[in-house]
Chain A
């Protein structure tokens, strides 16, 4: 065990050295493909990285950002994988890269990409309307066990939100009717208007309503509480939100990685170049400010570590999709 790990390390080191000696750098403008529409979470993620790269001169060529958010992002992935040896096209997304092809014929294969890095993990919370009678996650789940259950809204269909709702149902026996909206922002407004009972939005999607005391978080799907900071609403800071596990929902962790991809046909030194750039990006103060502002968890996964994460994440989603009968025929 130890030995194989050592060999792997040495090999990786050697590869890295080889990559460094034959260092690759882009020869023409690099295209950043955003797999969401303008203004979406992935769009802000990409443009933040673009602004950091430009400001800190981390690349010596211009960057062209293109939005291809059609078909829940599949338009972008199809484009990103269409030229398998194109080293000047980087695709930005979430875990939908490997989850979308499971539920429908998307026109691209998850294997068409090689993962570069995951730079952030976005949290999921249970949110209810501020006037709702549920004091904590437990009373919310109890209410959802009665009768027809509760209305839960979310972004897109058979995507991260609906998957989480299914996981909660499975773990607790609560019943939810899931209503898919176009975006998390729409689900946020529907909750603020009390048209739905709850949503599982990311912090950034609900922060406006949270600040205005229109919606209230019950718990966060993470192993530990979120980073402490100033009060956001009149009486709560992010760190005051209990984890779902401590509130009695046996789901200890559910996060969405923000990921960066290259076509799988590119050379290892190309991969090494972009991995290095992204590593530098996440060390800048601007990046830390972005993480803090959007209440995400900063991370840096690449190489084998990232592959392992993807395999585990896929396996978990596969189980849910299979149970729900969502898998593409």
Chain B
């Protein structure tokens, strides 16, 4: 057992994953830039020149980082995330993703009310009426601030028209 107890993800694993992810982004960029020329023509670089070499550098540097990860972190006992930390991060991150998901279908106002109420009740231990009040007031304040005052339309879903808000 190389990792200390309670470690969920080791630093080594995370270094590997990150290098692989950045490397793949680089590869995608390289691939995407071949759609237009990647050469150096009469009028200087073609449209794909910069993205292509930028992508290539990302791939190469990521490979180097991958190599360094093996060199430095494979035998080292270092955690990236302990089980306890992961719990805390997920307890925060999960609801946030749910909020974005709800928002994309039901609009940002419904999303924010549900999210605020959920977070206050389940994580903050507040009573429902208080949480609901905070949620609704926040939504109304944002509505007034953005839509009425600054005339910036925010994402609305199928529910707002029911109460006459467009």
Is the pairing of A and B real?
Answer: yes
B151's partner among A28, A64, A88 (CB-CB below 8 A) is A64
A169–chain B nearest beta-carbon distance, Å: 16
A313–chain B nearest beta-carbon distance, Å: 27
B47–chain A nearest beta-carbon distance, Å: 10
Q: Complex Cα distance A66/B151, Å?
A: 9
- Does A193 belong to the interface (CB within 8 Å)? no
* CB-CB nearest in chain B for A31: B153
Q: Which of B133-166 contact A (CB under 8 A)?
A: 151, 153, 166
Q: Are B166 and A64 closer than 8 Å at their CB atoms?
A: no
Q: Are B153 and A28 closer than 8 Å at their CB atoms?
A: no
**Chain B 49-63, CB within 8 Å of chain A: the 1/0 string?**
000000000000000
Residues of B within 8 A of A88 (CB): 166
Residues of B within 8 A of A29 (CB): 166
Q: Complex Cα distance A62/B149, Å?
A: 12
* CB-CB nearest in chain A for B148: A62
Q: Give me the interface of B with A, judged by CB distance under 8 Å.
A: 151, 153, 166
Q: Complex Cα distance A260/B138, Å?
A: 37
* CB-CB nearest in chain B for A178: B43
Show 9 A/B contacts (Cβ-Cβ < 8 Å), sorted by A.
A28-B166, A29-B166, A31-B153, A62-B151, A64-B151, A64-B153, A65-B151, A66-B153, A88-B166
B46–chain A nearest beta-carbon distance, Å: 13
Q: Complex Cα distance A119/B166, Å?
A: 29
A225–chain B nearest beta-carbon distance, Å: 36
A/B pair count, beta carbons within 8 Å = 9
* CB-CB nearest in chain B for A28: B166
A residues contacting the other copy or chain, number (CB 8 A): 8
Q: Give me the interface of A with B, judged by CB distance under 8 Å.
A: 28-29, 31, 62, 64-66, 88
Q: Complex Cα distance A31/B153, Å?
A: 9
Residues of B within 8 A of A64 (CB): 151, 153
Residues of A within 8 A of B153 (CB): 31, 64, 66
* CB-CB nearest in chain A for B161: A28
Q: Complex Cα distance A29/B151, Å?
A: 10
Beyond A31-B153, A64-B153, A65-B151, 6 extra complex contacts between A and B, CB < 8 Å: A28-B166, A29-B166, A62-B151, A64-B151, A66-B153, A88-B166
* CB-CB nearest in chain B for A157: B47
Q: Complex Cα distance A29/B153, Å?
A: 10
Residues of A within 8 A of B166 (CB): 28-29, 88
* CB-CB nearest in chain B for A27: B166
Q: Complex Cα distance A66/B166, Å?
A: 16
Q: Complex Cα distance A309/B166, Å?
A: 36
Q: Complex Cα distance A29/B161, Å?
A: 13
- The 7 A-B residue pairs whose C-beta atoms are closest, nearest first, are A28-B166, A64-B151, A64-B153, A29-B166, A31-B153, A66-B153, A65-B151
Q: Complex Cα distance A28/B151, Å?
A: 13
Q: Complex Cα distance A219/B62, Å?
A: 56
Q: Complex Cα distance A231/B151, Å?
A: 41
Q: Complex Cα distance A88/B166, Å?
A: 11
B50–chain A nearest beta-carbon distance, Å: 16
B37–chain A nearest beta-carbon distance, Å: 12
